[in-house]
Amino acid sequence: MSDAGSPKTKKPAARKRKPAAKKAAKAANTAVAVADKPVVEPAGASDAAPAPVTLIRVPLPVRWRDLDAFNHVNNSQYLSYLEEARLQWMMTVPGQGLDDHVAPVVAAANLNYRRPIEWPAEVAIELFVERLGNTSLSVAHRIVDAKDPAVLYCDGHVVMVWIDRNTGRAAPLPEAVRVACS
């Protein structure tokens, strides 16, 4: 059978979305129109988020063995750098945030690779409190050039969950960890 003689059904037109740049421009134009009016903020009000609590800054040399075939630090090595910094921070926490009953595990890791690290170099791993929960801690991180912190190699965060060693279930965050994060 041929559908040459049958009426064609018309599909509904797809909805067009405005590109993000046009949306931003429209928002900027609106802001300019409003910007002509004076803005009065209450005393002490600020849009700036509070400064994150710095846990530690650990300088580390880039080792020859950290490199891959492209002559820069292999992406998997970044996780080792972060692990080393977390371990050095944990060594400063009384009881190291663990005992016979509870211990931390890494539940998630997010790394944003911003630029390659080439050898020779010295990097610094900076750790910050991102979120303090009942059983977990989100640790934000930055891997930067040790001499110039404006050179950002990587950022992101790691979620650490304290677990009960016997049951494998989440356990309350140790008080020593809470104190170390404030």
The CA R_g of the chain, rounded to the nearest whole Å, is 25
The pLDDT, as a whole number, for residue 10 is: 52
6 occurs within a structural domain: no
Query: Into how many domains does the chain fold?
Result: 1
Q: Is residue 59 part of a domain?
A: yes
**What tokens were used for 113?**
């690779």
pLDDT of residue 166: 94
CATH number at residue 166: 3.10.129.10
Structural domain includes residue 19: no
Burial of 106 (0-12, 13-18, 19+ CB in 10 A): middle
List average pLDDT for each run of 10 residues in the chain, which is 182 residues long.
51 48 42 38 53 92 95 96 96 84 95 96 97 96 97 98 95 93 90
71 sits in the region (left: phi over 0; alpha: psi -120 to 50; else beta) called left
Q: Residue 7 has what pLDDT?
A: 52
Give the model's pLDDT for residue 49. Answer: 64
143 lies in some domain = yes
Residue count (the chain): 182
Cβ neighbours of residue 179 under 8 Å, at least 6 residues apart? none
pTM of this structure: 0.71
Q: Which domain holds residue 81?
A: 54-180
Q: Looking at residue 47, what is its pLDDT?
A: 58
Q: Say whether 38 sits in a helix, a strand or coil.
A: coil
Burial of 147: CB neighbours in 10 Å, binned 0-12, 13-18, 19+ = exposed
Q: Which two tokens stand for residue 180?
A: 């170390």
**Domain contains 26:** no
Residue 21 lies in a domain: no
**Shortest CA distance to 143 belongs to which of 68, 94, 71, 86?**
86
Alpha-carbon distance of 97 to 174, in angstroms, equals: 6
Angle, alpha carbons 100-102-108 (nearest 5°) = 140
Note the pLDDT of residue 170.
96
Domain membership flag for residue 107: yes
